[in-house]
Amino acid sequence: MSILKVNTIQDKGGNTIISSDGAGTLSGGLASNTPAFSAKLSANQEGISQNAYTKVQCDSEDFDTDSAYDNATNYRFTVPSGQAGKYLFTASINAIDWGGSFSTLDLYSGAFYKNGSLEKATIDINGAAVNNNGVSLSAIIDLSESDYVELYVKVETGSGTGKVYGGSNTTTWFQGYKLIGA
Taking only the tens place, the pLDDT of each residue in 19-64 is 777 766 666 555 578 999 999 999 989 888 778 899 999 999 999 9
Residues 113 and 156 reside in one and the same domain: yes
pLDDT band at 18 (very low <50, low <70, confident <90, very high): confident
Taking only the tens place, the pLDDT of each residue in 53-106 is 999 999 999 999 999 999 999 999 999 999 999 999 999 988 665 555 544 556
Q: Where are the beta strands (DSSP E) in 117-168?
A: 117-128, 134-143, 148-156, 161-164
Cα separation, 24 vs 112, in Å, equals: 36
Does the reported pTM lie above 0.75? Answer: yes
Distances (CA, A) of 124 to 91, 127, 156, 166: 14, 9, 11, 20
Domain harbouring 40, CATH code: 2.60.120.40
Residues 21 and 57 reside in one and the same domain: no
Report which residue type is found at 34. T
Domain that holds residue 54: 34-178
pLDDT of residue 131: 56
Residues 20 and 44 reside in one and the same domain: no
pLDDT of residue 166: 86
Residues 22 and 52 reside in one and the same domain: no
